[in-house]
């Protein structure tokens, strides 16, 4: 049985983990009989967004791990308690929480950096030869952590985002929503998911391929 860590960045497309991406990932892993551990950092969300209006709820303060636990029915670990050596693979779910909570991409654009715990986890996993999956906007994490390795990845076909990732040393590959890009040398799999998806079915096709490729590589 493959052991997989799934990393979340909150709960909600506009300020945390993209819920449909998270559920599709967990479903695909469960169908594959993988043993899953979900984790999130114990940090404050940068924003809390009203998902009906799209407006910031300025008087709200929420915890990334507490919000992420809504998706996992409370079964979640703090990111600082997990070790890459305990897993065969690690998958990062997308959503604006990646760009706001796990990195500064939403605020700093091409000059962004990523959370030190996330950076360390990716570095250690890569050094140990673990399989890594990144969907939606989360390839920004791979570009920052593994750009110097020339990691090959995709966020779909958005030129501005692709240029920001390439500025970190990554090699961007345009990819349709129902496909995934596999960098066998760096053991990284990426798929556009809701960077391109117009429906949950659109997102599912690429996520299923990402999960299958990650598990095959693990």
Evaluated on CA atoms 4, 182, 204, 7, the torsion sign reads: positive
User: Is residue 44 over pLDDT 90?
Assistant: yes
Is it the case that residue 59 has pLDDT exceeding 90? no
Q: Are 102 and 122 in contact (CB under 8 A)?
A: no
pLDDT at 31 (0 to 100): 98
Mean pLDDT of the chain: 97
Neighbours of 67 (CB within 10 A): 22
Q: Pairing mode, if any, of strands 35-40 and 3-7?
A: parallel
Provide the annotated active-site residues: 136
To which residue do tokens 């391929």 refer?
209
Distance, in Å, from the CA atom of 82 to the CA atom of 104, rounded to the nearest integer, reads: 23
- Predicted local distance difference test score (pLDDT) of residue 17: 98
Q: Domains along the chain?
A: 3-135+201-217 (3.40.50.880)
For residue 114, the model assigns a pLDDT of 98
* 56's tokens: 């910031």
**pLDDT tens digits for 181-199?**
999 999 999 999 999 999 9
Specify the pLDDT at position 207. Answer: 98
Read out DSSP for 174-215?
A: ---TT--EEETTTTEEEE-GGGT-SSHHHHHHHHHHHHHHHH
Q: What pLDDT, in 10s, does the model give residues 128-161?
A: 999 999 999 999 999 999 999 999 999 999 999 9
Whether 63 and 44 have beta carbons less than 8 Å apart is answered as: yes
Q: How far apart are CA 136 and CA 10, in angstroms?
A: 15
| Alpha carbons 63 and 37: distance in angstroms, whole number | 19
């Amino acid at each position: 049985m493959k052991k997989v860590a799934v990393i979340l960045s909150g709960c909600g497309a506009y300020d945390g983990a993209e819920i449909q991406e998270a559920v599709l990932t967990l479903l695909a892993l469960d169908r594959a009989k993988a043993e899953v551990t979900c984790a999130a950092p114990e940090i404050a969300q940068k924003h809390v967004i009203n998902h009906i209006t799209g407006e910031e709820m300025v008087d709200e303060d929420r915890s990334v791990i507490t919000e992420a636990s809504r998706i996992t029915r409370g079964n979640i670990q703090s990111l600082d308690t997990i070790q890459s050596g305990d897993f065969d693979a690690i998958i990062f779910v997308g959503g604006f929480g990646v760009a706001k909570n796990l990195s500064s991409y939403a605020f700093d654009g091409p000059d962004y950096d990523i959370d030190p715990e996330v950076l360390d986890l990716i570095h250690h996993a890569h050094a140990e030869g673990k399989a890594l999956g990144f969907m939606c906007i989360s390839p920004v994490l791979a570009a920052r952590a593994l750009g110097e390795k020339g990691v090959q990845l995709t966020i779909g076909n958005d030129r501005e985002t692709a240029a920001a990732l390439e500025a970190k040393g990554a090699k961007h590959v345009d990819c349709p929503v129902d496909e995934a890009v596999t960098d066998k040398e760096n053991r990284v799999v990426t798929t556009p998911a809701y960077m391109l998806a117009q429906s949950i079915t659109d997102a599912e096709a690429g996520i299923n391929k990402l999960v299958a490729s990650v598990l095959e590589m693990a």
